[in-house]
A and B are shown apart, each in its own frame.
Chain A
Amino acid sequence: MSLAFLVPLFLLGAAAVVVPIAVHLTRRQRRNVVHFPSLMFLQRIPYQEQRRRRVQHWFLLSLRALALMLVVAAFSRPFLDRSDIGATGGGGPREVVVLVDQSYSMEIGDQLDRARTEAQRVFDGLGPLDRASLVTFARGANVVARSTSDRTRLRGALDTLAVSSGATRYGPALKVAQTILEESTLPSGEVYLLSDFQRNGWTGDEGVRLPPGSRVIPIALSEPVAVDNVMVTDVSLPRQIVAGRERITPTARVVRRGGDAARDVMVSLDLDGQEIQTRSVTLDPNSAGVVSFQPFTLSQPHTTGTVRLPDDAISADNTHHFVLSPGTSLGVLVAEGTRSADDVSLYLRGALQISEDGRFDVRGRRSNTIRPVDLDGAQTVFLNDVQIDGGSAERIRTFVEAGGGVLIALGENGGWPDSAADMLPGTIGPVEDRIQGRGGRLGYLDYEHPIFEVFAGPRSGDFTGARFYRARRLEPSDAATVLARFDDGSVALAELRIGRGRVLVWTTSMDAFWNDLALQPVYLPFVHRLAEYLGGRAEPVPWFVTGQVVDLADPDALEMAGLVSSVAAGLAEGLDQIALTPAGSSTRLPAGDGPRYLPLEEHGFYTVRPPGSEPDRPFVMAVNVDLEESDLVRIDADELALQVEAPSAVENGAPQLGQAFELRREDQERRQSLWRWLLLAALALFVLETALSNWVSRQGSGAVGATAG
């Protein structure tokens, strides 16, 4: 290690040290020039010259000279050159990064053992001044050992290698290698990429570029032979209500890749850890089949299920996990005004009661008052042609702020108390008739909105057939969102979010009084979507894929993850949570204001429960592997290497090593940045010198040429 300068030419500036000396010895008094007719007499007074030509304050002069030297040194960009340490080895010391693929496809054959062997061979070949890092990767990258020359540590790191549940992604691993090489002070870098090189792991736009002087050495661990692999790609879980109970009829889709002859594959179904059914399916090479199981009754929340195949080349894709809970019906209150027609909610009630799985629990109330008991158990309230009082409006406000949803359908008698006008998405105006011609139509629907998104596709519901003859005018407020408009631009449906809930205003009747929408086929799914959206019902996800992350502090996310809504909020607001991974390890998720993310990295079942509790039916999330990894098509490893290596090193090879070495020097200098400290020191010296100089000047103001240096 020696002190070197990146721009040594600047050292010539050291000659500037003579400047302060010369200035002192030759300078004239320049502080204030007085023009005088003649120096005839002044020149005869003989004491100036001697004092001026003698250095009077060596300390000040030294400070100035030292400050100048520091400035010169800073401009020369000094750094401690560590590259000479490895000058004894051929080609200089190396920074070696070993990237080992841990994706689940690595379980084929003995690929992981080969990876361990190859990595060990690389570590054994390290020189005394080389450093090495071990990085494992699948979807993400994990630095197991970073830039060390400790062989024992590296060997120990190799022992931790294990196959994960993730799919291959080369980008994160190569970016980690890029960072390690960029931070290294060694002159050359080598990246050993140990993988089965699946094409799906590389898109080409990862933006990885290794520093100049580095090269990628791919080591393929798999043999290019066909692998006979059968996997479960999907499981459908349709529900039916039979005798008031939910029945699930699982259907699994099985795909076979590779193989050379048709064979029977046994497919089994496990529920809560017990195998309950087994089916056989005959699969040709590179074909797919569907296996339907007998229906089973779903009675318990968080019921775990697994569709399982016999072991083959890749075991991770032989299982497909899911979690089911009995659907809870959505409580819907339909309130009618006392002056409304008797059949004002005829179609609305009918639509809500027609469902295969009994998803709506509809209650009715014919009163202008909404009592607290009416809202118990309700998630959605339809105020159909009713003018409620102020107290009821406040109760509705509380209900909405807690997460409930209200639809106000304006009709002949519909309205809203002025005292709670801020709950509306606009100002309700007078009745407008649209009886000319064939009435109005819906001219605009927000198909991005959850209510209408199911109608966005072709033949997914036609609202244009409905005729609207009368509606109330609504002037939407700034905070409101208009979801539907009539063809004349007036508002048909508007939304306002309040707290965790929402209020919708439908400016015409919900039944066939002012329009004939209730007679259209689209009416039923529209009412269903309205009720579900207002009630905040989210379709639970039976399973996740490895790599996804769940926020356990978000009740909506938990509900989406299959947690029954009655406990979702409680778990989200709980103090602490503990997540048990499929492998059995536990992760503590302390309570806090922020999110509590749980990365799902293993396939199987994750169990989440409060610490110290043993619930009978804990919250479980099913996680399956990313099936992209089962596609074993390979990428050309050399092509991948070419894409990430620096162009100059690739094109010019050895002649660029010198340039790379220079770049290394620049890197060293840039990282050390000694020049900043030198400049700071110079500045401090200048300040000190100025202060001292002023002090000396004041002290010796009686002397001619008192300032020294």
Chain B
Amino acid sequence: MSSLRPRHAAAGAQFLDPAVLGRIGNLELLARTVVDGFLTGLHRSPYLGFSMDFAEHRPYNPGDDIRRIDWKLFGRTDRHYIKLFEADTNANFSVLLDLSASMSYGSHSLTKLDYARYLAACLTYFSNKQRDRVGLVTFDHEIVDYVPPSMKHLDTILHTLDRAEAGRPGSLEEPILKITEMLGRKGILVVISDFYEEPEQVIRALGPLRARGHDVIVFHVMDPYELEFPFEEASGFEDLETGEQIPVIPKKLQGDYLEMMTAHLASLAKKFADNRIDYALLDTSKPLDEALFAYLLAREKKSKTR
């Protein structure tokens, strides 16, 4: 697996400004708006199901795919019947959403958590629409909410997302270890976080998921100010999670900061790739559709490789 930069896959899509999405109060409506619009623009079937269950037979009509003729029934009845299959849940899809205090940061109208929430809602809605069982786990330094995967849990997930709030310090390893134990059946796990931990710690936390056979897709949500550090005025910078404060003259530090941030991102990308975890860095100022592209491309790639 390799990391995916969504902007390369976004050509031709009609994107929605995150700020516009922010004005849609209902998460389901938001997800539907994004996903349906996204699918319309995609011009290709999103149904990439891997298994179909038998539903009924119907007489063969010219033009039907002859591969779907039930030859055993032809043997018994000497008539051609087509087997109809009912789409079935083909995967467990769970979103692991980081609610640590750092996710509450936002340099513009949308915080990282808002963006992550929209993203989670869209992906969940999207997956539910293609008949995956959808689940949700929110966590900071421990598990906050857990919605087990189910076809019927879309509303619950959207509701849980709706009231999710970031406020406490976060860490990955401990809550994800518990999540690993809770999620028995293999599935698709989408981890949405800002990953303010050392890359080694991140991999150590996510490694067990991968080891259990889950397909792990990581969305690294970052604010543009975190990526570019465009501050100018000398200020006291306060850590949202620890409350610690230090005086900073940004112009003096910007170079060092960007260097360290770039190294951090590169290190994360490399380590995720090494562990066959799909990784996408999302800028909260960029349209949400890009994340969906990233997800779809990852899924497509997975399906091809299977």
Binding site for B on A (CB under 8 A): 28-45, 48, 52, 701-705
Q: Does B215 contact A (CB under 8 A)?
A: no
26 contacts between A and B (CB under 8 A): A29-B234, A29-B247, A31-B236, A32-B234, A33-B236, A33-B237, A33-B238, A34-B235, A34-B236, A34-B248, A35-B238, A36-B105, A37-B103, A37-B226, A38-B102, A38-B239, A38-B241, A39-B237, A39-B246, A40-B196, A41-B256, A42-B253, A52-B247, A702-B249, A702-B252, A703-B249
| Cα distance, A703 to B248, chains bound together (Å) | 10
| Cα distance, A557 to B138, chains bound together (Å) | 106
Given contacts A34-B231, A34-B236, contact A41 B261 (CB under 8 A): yes
Please tell me which one of the listed residues A36, A40, A45, A704 contacts residue B238 in the complex, with CB atoms under 8 A apart: A36
Residues of B within 8 A of A703 (CB): 249
Contacts A36-B237, A39-B244, A704-B248 known; list 19 others, CB within 8 Å. Answer: A28-B236, A28-B246, A29-B245, A32-B236, A33-B236, A33-B238, A34-B235, A35-B238, A35-B240, A37-B101, A37-B103, A37-B241, A38-B194, A39-B246, A42-B253, A48-B246, A48-B248, A52-B247, A701-B234
Among residues of A, the one whose C-beta sits closest to the C-beta of B251 is A702
| Cα distance, A489 to B233, chains bound together (Å) | 87
Residues of A within 8 A of B140 (CB): none
| Cα distance, A38 to B240, chains bound together (Å) | 6
Residues of A within 8 A of B260 (CB): 41, 44
Q: Does B286 contact A (CB under 8 A)?
A: no
Residues of A within 8 A of B248 (CB): 29, 34, 42, 48, 704
Contact yes or no, B196 A38, CB < 8 A = yes
Q: Does B257 contact A (CB under 8 A)?
A: yes
Contact with A along B210-247 (1 / 0, CB 8 A): 00000000000001001000010111111111101111
Contact yes or no, A37 B246, CB < 8 A = no
Residues of B within 8 A of A42 (CB): 237, 246, 248, 253, 257
Interface range, B side: 20 to 34
| Cα distance, A52 to B247, chains bound together (Å) | 9
Of the listed residues B233, B236, B244, B260, the one surrounded by the most CB atoms of chain A closer than 10 A to its CB is: B236
Contact yes or no, A35 B105, CB < 8 A = yes
Residues of B within 8 A of A37 (CB): 101-103, 105, 112, 194, 196, 223, 226, 239-241
Residues of A within 8 A of B249 (CB): 702-704
Q: From DSSP, what is the main secondary structure of chain B's interface residues?
A: mixed
Shortest CB–CB separation between residue B252 and chain A, in angstroms?
Answer: 7
Q: Does B80 contact A (CB under 8 A)?
A: no
Binding site for A on B (CB under 8 A): 101-103, 105, 112, 194, 196, 223, 226, 231, 233-242, 244-249, 252-253, 256-257, 260-261, 264
Shortest CB–CB separation between residue A598 and chain B, in angstroms?
Answer: 80
Shortest CB–CB separation between residue B240 and chain A, in angstroms?
Answer: 5
Contact yes or no, A33 B245, CB < 8 A = yes
Among residues of B, the one whose C-beta sits closest to the C-beta of A34 is B235
Among residues of A, the one whose C-beta sits closest to the C-beta of B264 is A41
| Cα distance, A38 to B193, chains bound together (Å) | 13
Residues of B within 8 A of A702 (CB): 249, 252
| Cα distance, A704 to B256, chains bound together (Å) | 16
Residues of B within 8 A of A28 (CB): 236, 245-247
Residues of B within 8 A of A701 (CB): 234
Residues of B within 8 A of A45 (CB): 253, 256-257
| Cα distance, A35 to B101, chains bound together (Å) | 11
Shortest CB–CB separation between residue A478 and chain B, in angstroms?
Answer: 72
Among residues of A, the one whose C-beta sits closest to the C-beta of B243 is A35
Shortest CB–CB separation between residue A36 and chain B, in angstroms?
Answer: 5
Among residues of A, the one whose C-beta sits closest to the C-beta of B236 is A29
Shortest CB–CB separation between residue A696 and chain B, in angstroms?
Answer: 14
Residues of B within 8 A of A52 (CB): 247
Q: Which 6 A-B pairs have the closest CB atoms?
A: A29-B247, A37-B102, A29-B236, A32-B235, A38-B196, A37-B105
Shortest CB–CB separation between residue A704 and chain B, in angstroms?
Answer: 5
| Cα distance, A134 to B84, chains bound together (Å) | 134
| Cα distance, A39 to B247, chains bound together (Å) | 11
Residues of B within 8 A of A34 (CB): 231, 235-238, 248
Residues of A within 8 A of B247 (CB): 28-29, 48, 52, 704-705
Among residues of A, the one whose C-beta sits closest to the C-beta of B259 is A41
Residues of A within 8 A of B101 (CB): 37
Please tell me which one of the listed residues B234, B238, B239, B240 contacts residue A31 in the complex, with CB atoms under 8 A apart: B234
| Cα distance, A34 to B233, chains bound together (Å) | 10
Of the listed residues B102, B105, B239, B247, the one surrounded by the most CB atoms of chain A closer than 10 A to its CB is: B247
Contact yes or no, A704 B252, CB < 8 A = yes
Shortest CB–CB separation between residue B130 and chain A, in angstroms?
Answer: 34
Among residues of A, the one whose C-beta sits closest to the C-beta of B252 is A704
| Cα distance, A52 to B234, chains bound together (Å) | 14
| Cα distance, A705 to B235, chains bound together (Å) | 10
| Cα distance, A43 to B261, chains bound together (Å) | 13
Shortest CB–CB separation between residue B173 and chain A, in angstroms?
Answer: 16
Among residues of A, the one whose C-beta sits closest to the C-beta of B231 is A34
| Cα distance, A562 to B247, chains bound together (Å) | 94
Residues of B within 8 A of A40 (CB): 196
Shortest CB–CB separation between residue A56 and chain B, in angstroms?
Answer: 14
Residues of A within 8 A of B256 (CB): 41, 44-45
Contact yes or no, B235 A31, CB < 8 A = yes
Shortest CB–CB separation between residue A75 and chain B, in angstroms?
Answer: 33
Shortest CB–CB separation between residue A686 and chain B, in angstroms?
Answer: 24
Residues of A within 8 A of B103 (CB): 37
Contact yes or no, B239 A41, CB < 8 A = no
Of the listed residues B101, B226, B231, B249, the one surrounded by the most CB atoms of chain A closer than 10 A to its CB is: B249
| Cα distance, A28 to B238, chains bound together (Å) | 10
Contact yes or no, B235 A33, CB < 8 A = yes
| Cα distance, A228 to B206, chains bound together (Å) | 130
Shortest CB–CB separation between residue B109 and chain A, in angstroms?
Answer: 16
| Cα distance, A704 to B242, chains bound together (Å) | 22
Shortest CB–CB separation between residue B299 and chain A, in angstroms?
Answer: 29
| Cα distance, A36 to B104, chains bound together (Å) | 10
Among residues of B, the one whose C-beta sits closest to the C-beta of A706 is B234
Residues of A within 8 A of B253 (CB): 42, 45
Residues of A within 8 A of B112 (CB): 37
| Cα distance, A36 to B231, chains bound together (Å) | 11
Among residues of B, the one whose C-beta sits closest to the C-beta of A32 is B235
Among residues of A, the one whose C-beta sits closest to the C-beta of B166 is A37
| Cα distance, A623 to B149, chains bound together (Å) | 124
Among residues of B, the one whose C-beta sits closest to the C-beta of A52 is B247
| Cα distance, A704 to B194, chains bound together (Å) | 29
Residues of A within 8 A of B242 (CB): 39
Residues of B within 8 A of A43 (CB): 244, 246
| Cα distance, A101 to B79, chains bound together (Å) | 155
| Cα distance, A160 to B112, chains bound together (Å) | 100
| Cα distance, A576 to B244, chains bound together (Å) | 89
Contact yes or no, B235 A704, CB < 8 A = no
Among residues of B, the one whose C-beta sits closest to the C-beta of A38 is B196
Of the listed residues A32, A40, A44, the one surrounded by the most CB atoms of chain B closer than 10 A to its CB is: A40
Among residues of A, the one whose C-beta sits closest to the C-beta of B102 is A37
Shortest CB–CB separation between residue B199 and chain A, in angstroms?
Answer: 12
Contact yes or no, A29 B238, CB < 8 A = no
Among residues of A, the one whose C-beta sits closest to the C-beta of B256 is A45
Shortest CB–CB separation between residue A210 and chain B, in angstroms?
Answer: 64
| Cα distance, A48 to B112, chains bound together (Å) | 29
Shortest CB–CB separation between residue A24 and chain B, in angstroms?
Answer: 12
Shortest CB–CB separation between residue B201 and chain A, in angstroms?
Answer: 11
| Cα distance, A119 to B189, chains bound together (Å) | 114
Shortest CB–CB separation between residue A297 and chain B, in angstroms?
Answer: 109
Residues of B within 8 A of A36 (CB): 105, 237-240
Among residues of A, the one whose C-beta sits closest to the C-beta of B194 is A37
Among residues of B, the one whose C-beta sits closest to the C-beta of A51 is B247
Shortest CB–CB separation between residue B214 and chain A, in angstroms?
Answer: 27
| Cα distance, A35 to B264, chains bound together (Å) | 21
| Cα distance, A37 to B253, chains bound together (Å) | 16
Residues of B within 8 A of A33 (CB): 235-238, 245
Residues of B within 8 A of A44 (CB): 256, 260
Shortest CB–CB separation between residue B246 and chain A, in angstroms?
Answer: 6
| Cα distance, A407 to B240, chains bound together (Å) | 99
Among residues of B, the one whose C-beta sits closest to the C-beta of A37 is B102
